[in-house]
Chain A
Amino acid sequence: MKKLLIYLKDYKKETILGPLFKLLEASFELIVPLVVAAIIDVGIGSGDKNYILKMCGVMVLLGVVGLVSSITAQYFAAKAATGFATKLRHSLFEHIQRLSFSEIDRIGTATMITRMTSDINQLQSGVNMVLRLFLRSPFIVFGAMIMAFTIDVKAALVFVVTIPLLSFVVFGIMAISIPLYRKVQAGLDKILGITRENLTGVRVIRAFGKEASEISEFHGQNEGFTLMQMKVGKISALMNPVTYIIINLGIIVLVWVGAIRVNQGDITQGEVVALYNYMSQILVELIKLANLIVTITKALACAGRIENVLEMEPSIRENINSVSKTSKDIGKEEIRKDAVKVEFAHVGMTYQGAGAEALSDISFTVKKGETIGIIGGTGSGKTSLVHLIPRFYDVSQGKVLVDGKDVKDYSLKELRQKVGIVMQKSVLFKGTIRENICWGKEDATEQEIWEALEIAQAKEIVDNKPEGLETQVSQGAKNLSGGQKQRLSIARAVVKKPEILILDDSASALDYATDARLRQAIAGLKNIMTVFIVSQRASSIMHADKIIVLDDGKIVGMGTHEELKQNCEVYQEIYYSQYEKEEKHGEA
């Protein structure tokens, strides 16, 4: 929590004034019983109606002042709390954006979204509540006690016994029931799990005729959950009756002691009434305090979780000092054909938390303008390999060089500017098609956009939409088919004419004919782009200048289609499982 307090820094004034105004209100509230006592002892005692009227006026006045200071306090609290949450959300969002892929993988997007939304919301209401009540409730409890002492020390001793006893019971019951509530929550999660499982697996469950046994399992969980609820319910149901007993017995003792004191002539009847009123005030505030503590505990847990994310450092540290090349230099490089564009030198890579290497001892060079095919089974390391080029992950061994320079020596911006990537899962964002394509190049001209669409075989998608480029893409691009999404995300990567284009299994939803046309169009970009095509389909990569065959994170073959067909066992396996064996016979 400490680290998060800096986000309250800009609201210093509010964080201090809010509780202070609350205290002011509370102090006025504490005076009321004294005024009542005065009415009884002085007003009634002497039968002075004017005095009574005056005192009631004082009470109304106290109420007005209390109202004003309380509203002021609420305003400051709300302002500080919302301002705090806004700043925190901004920082957390910014922070998450800076995290590298390793951290994103480790935390998981679902978790990050929860941190950003419900956790921060909870924290916001926690801060709000604390600013409002944190000082007020204890102040009233102790204030009432002190006021009682000013009236009569001996009678006030009743408070000294009652309040600790009451606090002990209230917090004791909470201390017992809160962990139990957590168990109840776990029980509910279990029931939720079974229900979800039964929905996602409905076909399998019915195929195995397991309906009855599912019901009986659900019964068991449901029954256990109810019993647990009941058990906790019984304990927390004690809260009200027990506090009621304590406070009222306190009052009874108080009246008894008061009677003795009055009889001795130490206090007046009105003062007994005042003591009685203080006792009632304490009860109300203690219950508020208990609720406040629940809120604080929850908020603190949220704060801890948020802090964990904020403390996570991006594992990829960029070289900020890298000198960006001017466009002139790039122009010069264009001339140098045959230059080595990308080089992997004995690269090994291990994912965080994984035991085995995902890639080991990968070495190859790619010349400018070449097309490289990467093929292999699932989990063979294809995606891991291409993700090293824009430095989404860091190598654990060896080096990756782009234009002869270690990727670690580039600034991320400069490096990623060179690379256009189409990821396996094609993602478009809410907005127009134009806006989506312009992600690749902010200032793309009309002509550049259409060129990119044409290359990506996506022109017809846009042509078929009445609103053309201005067509809205809905959240998650639900209004587009898988193939359409894929082609548009290819266009997005192509539009900036990157020096290196990576297509990570990004034609899987395309039919063969479109795939072929796409490959042809990309082949036309040879003079400006170096292209990596990752695929499981032999047909997608067989025309590449060089094919890298991966198996279990190692290169098991490298060469052209013809070469590999002759000498690479894994490649043969893949190829012939997709193309008929007869072809082999036919050729042989």
Chain B
Amino acid sequence: MAKHKSKEKSTMKKVLRYVGKYWYLVVLSIILAAVSALLTLYVPILIGDAIDLIIGQGKVDFTSIFAYLREAAIVVLVVAAAQWIMNVCNNKISYYVVRDIRKDAFEKLQILPLKYLDSHSSGEIVSRIIADVEQFSEGLLMGFTQFFTGVVTILGTLFFMVMLNPKITIVVVCITPVSLLLASFIAKKTYSMFRLQSETKGEQTGIIDEMIGNQKVVQAFLQEDNVLERFDEVNERLRKCSLRAIFFSSITNPATRFVNGLVYAGVGFTGAIAVVNGNLSVGQLSCFLSYANQYTKPFNEISGVITELQNAFACAARIFDFIDETPQTPEKEGAYVLEQVQGSVDLQEVSFSYEENQKLIEHLNLQVKPGQRVAIVGPTGCGKTTMINLLMRFYDVTGGKILVDGTDIRDMTRNSLRTSYGMVLQETWLREGTIKENLIMGKPDATEEEIVAAAKAAHAHSFIQRMPKGYDTEIKEGGEGLSQGQKQLLCIARIMLSLPPMLILDEATSSIDTRTELMIQNAFAKMMEGRTSFIVAHRLSTIKEADIILVMKDGKIIEQGNHEELLGQRGFYYELYQSQFR
């Protein structure tokens, strides 16, 4: 509990730090809120005063009424202006604050270690940066616009009412809490109904996801009727509990309206008696009635705002958790910039594990001379990505070191290390934008000729040309609209263009038809000439031509050597070779 509180406090502090940057807007907004709330309350008084002067036929004092009404008109204009400026200020504050938060979150995203990103689903992170921030923004805006105004209005109303007539004020003050209690009572009672409703909704969404998502299987097994029956059962339950939740919560409004009616009647009665007794004027009574109408509104609003703010703070806490996540180890001061790469890669006593108690790689030694080819072999899920993770320094080794051209990769800038590798993975990734924009990722200043040459080398030129706008065709997020094979070719072309000194290739077998695959093989071979290459290999020919074969299983490197050596060992590689390639 105490921990919870302190966390709340630190969230508050952080929010204030972001808001503090715009303190002048906050101050302005608060002043304007006070001005507009108080003046809003002043208007009914002026109107009441004017009404008081409308006594009866022939007894109306037009000059004085005019004076009151003129004053009222001026006040109204001032209030409106204050409200508008205040709204604009509040918009500015909340939009600027969330803009800053979003910016920080995104910048953080770029320096978070992959370990974090790999262990959290992208949906979850996106929902923090987008949905949580939006929710926070809304809560903040609402808090600013309604919370302060509400408080000032309540205090102001009380003040004016006491000034007019303390006795009637007591009537108002006594009855209004009833409406608040009633509202919170209903909210409490309906909470469990709403929970049941959202649980049932969740259950139904589960069925919808599962069945509609796999409609083809449902139809193939002729299960439509059974599935519909299951759906209907939940659907009916949902109807019942929705009805209860919606109905009971919808009582709130009429009920509070009723209580307000009571307040109104109470004020009407005591007020009218006071008028008869000569303690109050008719204008003041009408003013009172209008206050009685307004008085409860800010209470309801404030209670709404408080839940909204709590919600917003919960969102903020989640965002700050993300922003405060430990970033990857910062680069050393004056880190070495890898240039003119020869391409020797040296793994010395390398140990690595994702989880502390689950050792994967231990004391791995591997010397790759410039231009050599390393094939990584093993069944699916054997952990070939682990090797890529270490070479690219997506993850840091837990023991030993990796040297490129004799320098520890932790002593060089990540950027220079990573751009020295060209990487083609099986999970292709293209960004939203034109084909050209995708191709020049590694070489932003490439000329038209270079781009076409690279695409031709990757056998991508012909299909690109067939697309509606050629190289300027827009591709959607995730490369929708392109076949898996085409996406792969584009990824290869991307590397062909920048042609870095070392390569990491994932030999993709499944998604490209045989002919294209052969062409890609040739392209790969051309690319690998004279370049140190690490290949996740599936094809025997690639493996046999490799200088070094790393055999991986269950995340570990279990054998290492060239084809003949490994066959001679009669170990796992031998078995693999026998079962898969014979």
- A36-84 residues with Cβ-Cβ distance < 8 A to B are 36, 39-40, 43-44, 47, 49, 52-53, 55-56, 59-60, 62-64, 66-67, 70-71, 74-75, 77-79, 81-83
B79 within 8 A of A: yes
Cβ of B212 and Cβ of A116 under 8 Å apart?
A: yes
- B294 to chain A: closest CB distance in Å? 9
The 6 closest A-B pairs by CB, nearest first: A377-B513, A237-B87, A265-B57, A63-B261, A233-B91, A241-B80
Whole-angstrom CA separation of A104 from B219 in the bound complex: 11
Query: Does A234 count as interface, using CB distance less than 8 angstroms?
Result: yes
Tell me which residues from 236 to 270 in chain A have a Cβ below 8 Å from any Cβ of chain B.
237-238, 240-242, 244-245, 248-249, 251-252, 255-256, 258-260, 262-265, 268-270
Task: From A109, A191, A248, name the one whose CB has the most chain B CB atoms within 10 angstroms.
Answer: A248
CB neighbours of A207 from chain B (8 A) = 392, 418-419, 421, 423
Interface centre among A208, A240, A573 (most CB of B within 10 A): A208
Of the listed residues A39, A238, A413, A421, the one surrounded by the most CB atoms of chain B closer than 10 A to its CB is: A39
Which A residues form the contact surface with B (CB < 8 A)? 25, 32, 36, 39-40, 43-44, 47, 49, 52-53, 55-56, 59-60, 62-64, 66-67, 70-71, 74-75, 77-79, 81-83, 85-86, 89-90, 93-94, 96-99, 101, 104, 109, 112-113, 116-117, 121, 124, 128, 132, 188, 191-193, 195-211, 214-215, 218-219, 222-223, 225-226, 229-230, 233-234, 237-238, 240-242, 244-245, 248-249, 251-252, 255-256, 258-260, 262-265, 268-270, 272-273, 276-277, 280, 376-380, 390, 392, 412-413, 416-417, 419, 421, 423, 427, 429-430, 439-440, 442, 475-476, 492, 508-509, 511-513, 536, 551, 570, 573-574, 577, 579-581
Q: Which of A96, A104, A192, A215 contacts B110 (CB 8 A)?
A: A215
Give the CA-CA distance A81 to B231 in the complex, in Å.
19
B43: which A residues are within 8 A, CB to CB?
Answer: 248
| Residue of A276, A412, A419 with most chain B CB atoms under a 10 A cut-off | A276
User: In the bound complex, do residue A492 and residue B228 qualify as a contact, i.e. CB atoms below 8 Å apart?
Assistant: no
Residue numbers of B with Cβ under 8 A of A are 43, 47, 50-51, 53-60, 62, 65-66, 69, 72-73, 76-77, 79-81, 83-84, 87-88, 91-92, 95-96, 99, 102-103, 106-107, 109-111, 114, 117, 122, 125-126, 129-130, 134, 201, 204-206, 208-224, 226-228, 231-232, 235-236, 238-239, 242-243, 246-247, 250-251, 253-255, 257-258, 261-262, 264-266, 268-269, 272-273, 275-276, 282, 285-286, 289-290, 293, 379-380, 392, 394, 414-416, 418-419, 421, 423, 425, 429, 431-432, 441-442, 477-478, 483-485, 498, 510-518, 539-541, 579-581
- Collect the chain B residues with CB atoms within 8 Å of residue A39's CB: 268, 272
Which listed residue, A200, A244, A417, touches B80 by the CB 8 Å rule? A244
Least CB distance from A319 to B in Å reads 16
Known interface pairs A207-B418, A262-B57, A430-B206; A280-B514 also in contact (CB < 8 Å): no
Contact A413 B222 (CB under 8 A): yes
Q: Quick one: which of A97, A215, A413 has the most chain B CB within 10 A?
A: A97
Contact of A44 among B99, B213, B282 (CB under 8 A): B282
Q: Is the pair B269, A262 in contact by a Cβ cutoff of 8 Å?
A: no
Measured between beta carbons, the chain A residues less than 8 angstroms from B415 are: 209
The answer to whether B429 touches A378 (Cβ under 8 A) is: no
Complex: A263 Cα to B581 Cα, angstroms: 109
Say whether A269 contacts B282, CB under 8 Å.
yes
Task: Judge whether B441 and A210 touch: CB under 8 Å.
Answer: yes
Known: A199-B117, A199-B126, A417-B222. A574 touches B514 (CB 8 A): yes
Q: What is the minimal beta-carbon distance from B216 to any residue of chain A, in angstroms?
A: 6
Are B264 and A272 in contact (CB-based, < 8 A)?
no
Q: Find A263's partner among B60, B220, B273, B484 (CB 8 Å cutoff).
A: B60
A269 and B56 within 8 A (CB): yes
A241 near B216: Cβ-Cβ < 8 Å: no
Q: Judge whether B51 and A255 touch: CB under 8 Å.
A: yes
* Residues in B whose Cβ lies below 8 Å from that of A56: 265-266, 268-269, 272
Point out the residue from B216, B250, B293, B419 that lies within 8 Å of A423, measured CB to CB: B216
Identify which of B239, B255, B429 contacts A83 (C-beta below 8 A).
Answer: B239
A200 contacts B122, CB within 8 Å? yes
User: Known contacts being A60-B265, A262-B60, is A252 close to B282, with CB within 8 Å?
Assistant: no
Closest to B521 in A: A577
CB–CB A580/B581 < 8 A = yes
Q: Are B215 and A52 in contact (CB under 8 A)?
A: no
- Nearest residue (CB) in B for A236 is B87
Q: Given A197-B432, A259-B54, A439-B221, decide whether A109 and B213 contact each other with a Cβ distance below 8 A.
A: yes
For B60, list chain A residues within 8 Å (CB): 259-260, 262-263
Nearest CB in chain A: distance from B171 CB, A: 11
Shortest distance in angstroms between A25's beta carbon and chain B's nearest beta carbon? 7
Q: Decide: A49 near B258, CB < 8 A? Known: A219-B103, A577-B517.
A: no
Q: Judge whether A195 and B220 touch: CB under 8 Å.
A: no
Cross-chain contact of B227 among A97, A264, A476 (Cβ < 8 A): A97
How far does the alpha carbon of A222 sit from the alpha carbon of B130 in the complex, in Å? Answer: 11
- CB–CB B236/A86 < 8 A: yes
- In the bound assembly, the distance between CA atoms of A98 and B223 in angstroms comes to 11
- Bound-state Cα–Cα, A302 to B257, Å: 32
A82-B243, A97-B215 given; A198·B109 CB < 8 A: yes
Which residues of the partner chain A approach B514 to less than 8 Å between Cβ atoms? 377, 570, 573-574, 577
CB-contact partner of B513 in A101, A277, A380, under 8 A: A380
In the complex, chain B residues whose CB is within 8 Å of the CB of A67: 254-255, 257-258
Given A188-B134, A192-B126, A252-B73, the answer on whether A206 and B286 have CB atoms closer than 8 Å is no
With A191-B102, A201-B431, A249-B76 known to touch, is A263 a contact of B269 (CB < 8 Å)? no
A196-B285 in contact given A60-B262, A244-B80, A579-B581 (Cβ < 8 Å): no
Known: A195-B130, A203-B425, A233-B88. A98 touches B232 (CB 8 A): no
Check B282–A78 contact: CB distance below 8 A: no
Which of the residues A244, A263, A413, A475 comes within 8 Å of B206, measured between beta carbons? Answer: A475
Complex CA gap A55/B270 in Å reads 12
Who on chain A is nearest to B218 by CB? A97
| A421 engages B220 (CB within 8 Å) | yes
Specify which of B79, B83, B130 is in contact with A188 (CB 8 Å cutoff).
B130
Contacts of A191 in B (CB 8 A): 102, 130
User: A44-B272, A203-B423, A379-B513 given as contacts; is B213 within 8 A of A229 (CB)?
Assistant: no
Ordered by A's residue number, 6 sampled pairs between the chains whose C-beta atoms are within 8 Å are A39-B268, A40-B275, A109-B212, A245-B76, A378-B485, A573-B514
B84 touches A97 (CB 8 A): no
The answer to whether A52 touches B272 (Cβ under 8 A) is yes
Chain A residues with Cβ below 8 Å from B134 are 188
Complex formed: what's the CA distance from A500 to B274 in Å?
A: 94
Question: Bound state CA distance, A249 and B54, in angstroms?
Answer: 18
Question: Does A378 contact B510, Cβ atoms closer than 8 Å?
Answer: yes
Would you call A40 and B282 a contact (CB within 8 A)? Answer: yes
* Partner among A53, A90, A196, A202 whose Cβ is within 8 Å of the Cβ of B117: A202
Report chain B residues within 8 Å CB of A248.
Answer: 43, 72-73, 76
Bound Cα distance from A162 to B414, whole angstroms: 68
Contact partners of B106 in chain A: CB under 8 A: 195, 198, 215, 218, 222
| Chain B residue contacts of A90, Cβ below 8 A | 228, 231-232, 235
CB distance A44 to B275 under 8 Å? Answer: yes
Tell me if B394 and A89 are in contact (CB < 8 A): no
B269 to A52, Cβ gap below 8 A? yes
Contacts A259-B62, A416-B220, A429-B210 known; 5 new A-B pairs at CB < 8 A: A116-B212, A206-B392, A237-B88, A249-B76, A416-B221
Q: Which residues of A contact B209 (CB under 8 A)?
A: 113, 475
A40 to B280, CA, bound (A): 12
Please report the C-alpha to C-alpha distance between residue A63 and residue B255 in the assembled complex, in whole angstroms. Answer: 10
Q: Closest Cβ of chain B: how far from A312's Cβ, in Å?
A: 13
Name the one of B96, B111, B272 contacting A211, with C-beta atoms under 8 angstroms: B111
Residue pair B95, A233 in contact (C-beta under 8 Å): yes
Across the interface, do B220 and A390 meet the contact criterion of CB distance under 8 Å?
yes
